[in-house]
Amino acid sequence: MKKFRNLRADEIDVRINQIASNYCTMLLYKDARCDMNILDETVGALNWKREHTRDNANCVVSIYDGEKWVSKEDTGTESFSEAEKGLASDSFKRACVNWGIGRELYSSPNIITFPRKDMIPKGKDSEFFENDKGKYTTKTYFYVEVIDYDENDNIKDLIIRDNKNNIRFSQLSKEKDKELSKLMDTMKKMIIANEEKDDTFDREKFYKYFNVESDANLTYKQVEEAITLLDKRLQ
């Protein structure tokens, strides 16, 4: 039976686990749509099925191996909203982990970040997370930009950014760090080359094209796009 691939960065959700006045921890998640898409992609839409028992508390995910149906099962927990629907979704996701979908997320490092002034709601003069009726909150959200795995399917490279593209967590292997540093250096050299070639080239306008204030806020995907654009200008 085919092995399920590891999750891409765009298939992973980042959720706050614990939040205090001066720090918050985060966890990596997948949603049910991700599981369904990977099942369709790997075994085919007609070669898997899900069944729920015990009022959605249990889910059985079965895959046809060409001769017979093979099943794996797990139990879920209710969500805070839409309890019945959340229970069905959670039991399905857990059953899919038994098949290996997203199991690599359990190798996640401890993800912790600290508040910054640009994470605080407007009008608040504080370097701490917002205290709302005795509970700390933040309107900042986070996403996985870079993720890569080792030969044992454990996470080895991980970068998490916030909604303003600031890097909030980074764990990189020497190889990945060198690769990304080289990418940034290439872009910076090409910016200088464009400035030397063309007096009308405006660095600030170039950053504005990507809706950022400096290269520090460019995602690595944007850096790759920037290199392509800068190279065209030099030709």
Per-residue pLDDT of 50-64, as tens digits, reads 999 888 789 999 999
Q: What is the pLDDT of residue 215?
A: 87
Residue with tokens 């369709």: 40
User: Under a CB-based contact definition with an 8 Å cutoff, are residues 173 and 157 in contact?
Assistant: yes
pLDDT above 90 as % of the chain: 71
Q: Once rounded to an integer, what is the mean pLDDT over residues 190-219?
A: 91
Residues 6+ apart with CB under 8 A from 200: none
Is residue 165 pLDDT above 70, yes or no? yes
Residue 98 pLDDT grade (very low, low, confident, very high; cuts 50, 70, 90): very high
Tokens 């405006």 belong to: 202
SS3 sequence of 83-141: HHHHHHHHHHHHHHHHCCCCHHHHHCCCEEECCCHHHCCCCCCCCCCEEECCEEECCCC
pLDDT score for 126: 56
Task: Calculate the average pLDDT of the chain.
Answer: 90
Q: 231 or 1: which carries more pLDDT confidence?
A: 231
Residue 179: other Cβ atoms inside 10 A: 14
Q: pTM (2 decimals)?
A: 0.86
Percent of the chain residues topping a pLDDT of 70: 91
Q: Which two tokens stand for residue 39?
A: 């099942």
Residue 119's pLDDT is: 59
Q: Which residues contact 26 (CB under 8 A, 6 or more apart)?
A: 14, 15, 16, 17, 111, 112, 113, 142, 160, 169
Specify the pLDDT at position 20.
87
Given a contact cutoff of 8 angstroms between Cβ atoms, the answer to whether 206 and 189 are in contact is: no
pLDDT digits (tens, 9 = 90+) for 115-151: 876 655 565 555 567 777 778 888 889 999 999 999 9
Q: How far is 212 from 209, CA to CA, in rounded Å?
A: 8
In 3D space, the residue among 178, 171, 177 whose CA is nearest the CA of residue 157 turns out to be: 171
Query: DSSP character for 72?
Result: E
Q: What is the pLDDT of residue 218?
A: 93
